[in-house]
Structure 1
């Protein structure tokens, strides 16, 4: 029987009805270790015999694709594909589909929540009260702040919309500049250097750079407004970690709030454990609503790519 592999962490802890319906189309379902991103060794063990793959954010190597001779389609329950060897998949004729925009609201709401948490020092205050203290660190309001949104895809647009509704001035940066889709959002289109130099809050909603280099390095941090807040719900590789720690130490950056790490969960807590870092465990799209939308879209995309009617 043809097999479908399911590896997103949000879909392996317990069966999802949309995925289980794949059995009605004659497919067997193979799950990775529940609630964990599979490593290469586990993927190499699971992919033989798989014709379709509902994939998460786990890194997928060319070795893994080579071990899956029957693979015909990969469907992501999100929009990012930088974890996939796209050229190898293209050479093999393997279709790659994404659930564009399905988790945009969940990720955007988290980005806004992280802004509030950083501006009002919520984690710091919460930890102090629970330790029997009464910490009071002067906060800032979001109304009237300048928020720079890097990447105006579905998540970036929604983040910009919410920030504007809260009374922030929004600077938008995106080389594709999707004007028509962003028309309902009041933004000023600027270049990246202007975002860094003028925004009091910079929030990242773009893929990692093709060359693998960080978008924000030591030189970029030098151009940030002193006391700025950086939000990252996109990719850890966008930010140079050593330069980030230096920017936090010097006060150039007031806070870094992130949902993504180079290794998840992080083994080295130098960054995640820093007192000016707000760290959450890749939960941007992990809401009931986002999971439902993304899963339904991913399953439909997978069936379509396999030539089956959803």
Structure 2
């Protein structure tokens, strides 16, 4: 049995009961810096002595992996592994494990919360009331509006079902659309250009594109309805921030809800500070239930992987 580095911020800040299962299996648990992402220098100091790594969203470079000669498995407490240099990990025979679907409901419910907040301008009206200003904003009702869901996996399907439940119509796009998934006559799959042209609200639930090129750029925005709402709880690099800012200023986009950024905290705060943007600090999967599910999945995956692979000597 060996050392396991644990770095998710929610766990290094306050611990988690699932770590007891690692200790019960004979492993030594090493926590990263409390409540924040470890730097590359900190990973270079902590990881080389570890055989397992329960990782958060911090970047894990080829340099770090090259120094971790004993490392056998990286288990994420989420679904994304694009923060890890996957080629370097695979070249070293390090297993890459994901907590599939663990935070899907948390992200989906945040997305629906964003829809209501955008439709009624809730952050702005709340801020005005706290300033003792009685300023009413004329909102819209979501019933009968069309939601475009880009990426119809676990999160996209949950969002689709919730949106249908409040009377919206849903158009979904997916690289591998499942023709058997037909939750309502008001749901259909369509190619991305058709979705963008028809949607009153567009929400992103897909992985990054090859080369991390933006999905929603100036060309995509030109094909969307004027005054569309946009929600991004997936990846920051799915959007072109300059094109989005210009569309917000012109009214091409009525408002944006954003839970993901180019860094945590962001390197550039200008989009988060825009008056037509609702911003949150990557809280999609930051619910008590999502954290519990993700940690249980991540620990299970790590224990299985370490039991199945020989330790380095």
- When the two chains are superposed, the root-mean-square deviation of aligned CA atoms in Å is 1.4
Between the aligned partners of 2:91 and 2:238, the Cα distance in structure 1 is 28
Hey, what's the Cα distance between the residues in 2 that align with 1:127 and 1:146?
Answer: 28
- 1:183-198 residue pairs with structure 2 within 5 A? 183-184=182-183, 187-198=187-198
Partner of 1:129 in structure 2? Answer: 129
TM-score normalised by L of structure 1: 0.96
Within 5 Å, give how 1:198-213 maps onto structure 2.
198-213=198-213
Cα pair 1:213 1:237 within 8 Å, conserved: yes
Number of the residue aligned with 2:264: 264
2:271 aligned counterpart, secondary structure: coil
Q: Counterparts of 1:82 and 1:183 in 2: how far apart (Å)? A: 30
Structure 1 residues 78 and 218: alpha-carbon distance in aligned structure 2, compared to 1, 3 A threshold: same
How much has 1:184 moved relative to structure 2? Answer: 3.6
Stretches of structure 2 that go unaligned for 5 or more consecutive residues are 309-313
Following TM superposition, the consecutive aligned residue runs of length 4 or more in structure 1 with deviations greater than 3 angstroms are 182-186
Q: In 2, Cα distance between the equivalents of 1:39 and 1:225?
A: 42
Task: Please state whether the residue corresponding to 2:80 is helix, strand or coil.
Answer: coil
Which whole-Å deviations, capped at 9, do the CAs of 1:201-243 have from their partners, x for residues lacking one? 0000011112111111111111110110000000000000000
Do the aligned partners of 1:160 and 1:185 also contact (CA within 8 Å) in 2? no
**Partner of 2:307: helix, strand, or coil?**
coil
Structure 2 length-normalised TM: 0.95
Alpha-carbon distance in 1 for matches of 2:101, 2:295: 12
In structure 2, the partner of 1:71 is 71
Indicate the residue corresponding to 1:165 in structure 2: 165
Counterparts of 1:185 and 1:49, CA distance in 2: 53
**Matched residue pairs, number?**
308
Q: Is the 8 Å Cα contact of residues 182 and 188 (structure 2) preserved in structure 1?
A: no
- Contact preservation (8 Å) 2:121, 2:137: yes
SS in 1 for 2:30: strand
Tell me the residue number matched to 1:226: 226
Please name the residue that 1:38 is paired with.
38
Question: Which position in structure 2 is the counterpart of 1:249?
Answer: 249
In the TM superposition, what are the counterparts of 1:21-170 in structure 2 within 5 Å? Answer: 21-170=21-170
